[in-house]
Structure 1
Amino acid sequence: MALHHATSGEVIDLSLRPISAETEHSTAIVKTDQFEAIRLVIPRGTDMPQHQVPGSITLHCLEGRVQLGLGETVAELGAHQWVYLEGGAAHSVKGVEDSVLLLTILFPPADASIG
């Protein structure tokens, strides 16, 4: 079954509700060639291992608290806090509490490597 992606002008509800690993899952909100937005659910104790994406990202913690591994440093991101990471920055995420984040990815132009 294909995931529903928002259409231009469609209002999306990001409201907070009790998080349950059994009922809550990360959800793609919209994806284009230039941009992707995801409602990211990170239950307490869940580790998202170190990884990187080619595009710049932002993480806006809507609810809960996560640890963001950034190389040798660890930063905590709590409710109502936001962080920007440059494209290619290695990072990991660990749920300190049941958490919901709004993840945005800005993809580099397809011709960015041509030069």
Structure 2
Amino acid sequence: MALQHHEPCQPINIGPYGDQLDGAQTCALFKSDQLEVMRVVLKAGKSMPSHHVNGEITVQCIEGRLDVMVTSGARTLEMGQMLYLPAKEEHALHALEDTSALVTVVLA
């Protein structure tokens, strides 16, 4: 089954889940020819394994705290902080607390 994405020109809520974070799951918000945006949810202690993508990335911590491991070391993001990763940068995510983050990938 194909992932459902939000329609263009429609508001998407990216505020903190708050007390609903425990039941939240990672989901794709939208994908176009040039851009993909995902809401990543990681429980405390859980990780997303090391990988890279061909385009540039931003990771914006919406709530919680997470480490983004890059070639030069770990970068801790707290609520309201964002990290830019250049294209093909090897990276992994590790949640220090229950966390949700907005991840944007440039595809073109």
Q: 1:83 is paired with a residue of what secondary structure?
A: strand
Report what 1:98 is aligned to. 98
Secondary structure of 2:102's counterpart equals: strand
- C-alpha displacement of 1:3: 2.3
Q: Structure 2 CA distance, aligned partners of 1:11 and 1:30?
A: 12
- The one-letter code matched in structure 2 to 1:32 is S
Q: Does 1:54 align with 2:54?
A: yes
- Aligned CA-pair RMSD: 1.1
**Do structure 1's residue 78 and structure 2's residue 98 form an aligned pair?**
no
5+ residue gaps, structure 2: none
After TM superposition, give the deviation of residue 90 of structure 1 in Å: 0.2
SS of the counterpart of 1:5? coil
Aligned-residue offset at 1:2: 3.1
Structure 1: runs of 5+ lacking an equivalent: 109-115
Q: Which moved more, 1:2-11 or 1:96-105?
A: 2-11
Structure 1 runs of 4+ off > 4 angstroms? none
Distance 2:96 2:35 in 1: 28
TM value normalised by structure 2: 0.92
Distance of aligned partners of 1:35 and 1:89 in 2 relative to their CA distance in 1, 3 Å threshold: same
Stretch moving more, 2-11 or 39-48: 2-11
Deviations 1:79-108, CA, capped at 9 Å, x for gaps = 000010011000111000000100000013
* Number of positions where the alignment pairs a residue of Structure 1 with one of Structure 2: 106
Q: CA–CA distance in 2 between the matches of 1:2 and 1:53?
A: 21
Q: For residue 88 of structure 1, what is the aligned residue in structure 2? A: 88
Is 2:78 the partner of 1:63? Answer: no
C-alpha distance in 1 between matches for 2:52 and 2:2? 25
TM-score (norm 1): 0.87
